[in-house]
Amino acid sequence: MGEEFKVTQTKEPSNGVLGKKIREIAKNGRSNITPEYELDLFIKDRKEHVSNVIIPALREKHIVIMDRYYYSTIAYQGALGIDPAHIKKINEEKFPRPDIVLILDVSTKVGMSRILKGRKEGNNLGFEQEKYLNKVRKVFKGLRDDPIVQEINATPSIETVFKNIVNLTDDIIKMHMRGKIGLPKYFERNFKIISSK
């Protein structure tokens, strides 16, 4: 592309108090935790993250690149039995909708082997068990009819996957550079810096 642009990279769960609590659940398992309680944690953590990180970045005309957002919640909490359509609805009533969602798809076995190789430790007990991840993948597959969702075969080399991502995101970035993509007025008005401390 050749242009320079400001980028904010972030992820969920956040580094806040609630995000750390979610990571503890992921690491240690869901003992005595209901799917509804877990979903509520994600919503509250996301509200803080959107207020403190995403909205300020969008106001500064940054491109925001996220590792997981509410589409991941749709899949992971949907796999626990909560209606994916309900999860999507309550998130889109509260938070900015992304311009594009990239789902990097591999088989569950390949995904788990990559986690073990990259992290050099066992899969976490909450979110990375094979039976559960098969359900998560099925929910992700069900999101492909959403016009902003793009599924990418992540089995090939990193270089090939990266090239495919660039091809898919190039037009979005150019629209951003031309000022065609901005922060919806609702979110400009209604988000202030908040903290769970």
The pLDDT tens digits for 55-100 are 999 899 888 999 999 999 999 999 999 999 999 999 999 999 998 9
**Alpha helix (H) residue ranges in 63-129:** 70-78, 84-94, 108-119
Whether residue 125 is contained in a domain is answered as yes
Return d(Cα 130, Cα 178) in angstroms, integer: 43
For the domain that residue 154 is a member of, what is the CATH number?
3.40.50.300
Contact yes or no for 179/66 (Cβ under 8 A): no
Number of domains in the chain: 1
CB-CB neighbours of 122 under 10 Å: 9
For residue 192, the model assigns a pLDDT of 52
Whether residue 47 is contained in a domain is answered as yes
- CA 118, 76, 107, 143 torsion: positive or negative? negative
pLDDT mean over 51-56: 95
Whether residue 25 is contained in a domain is answered as yes
pLDDT mean over 157-178: 85
Whether residue 197 is contained in a domain is answered as no
Whether residue 2 is contained in a domain is answered as no
Whether residue 45 is contained in a domain is answered as yes
For residue 1, the model assigns a pLDDT of 47
More confident residue, 106 or 194: 106
Give me the domain span that covers residue 86: 7-190
For residue 126, the model assigns a pLDDT of 62
Whether residue 1 is contained in a domain is answered as no
pLDDT mean over 23-51: 91
For the stretch 119-164, pLDDT in tens is 766 556 567 788 989 999 999 999 999 999 999 999 999 999 999 9
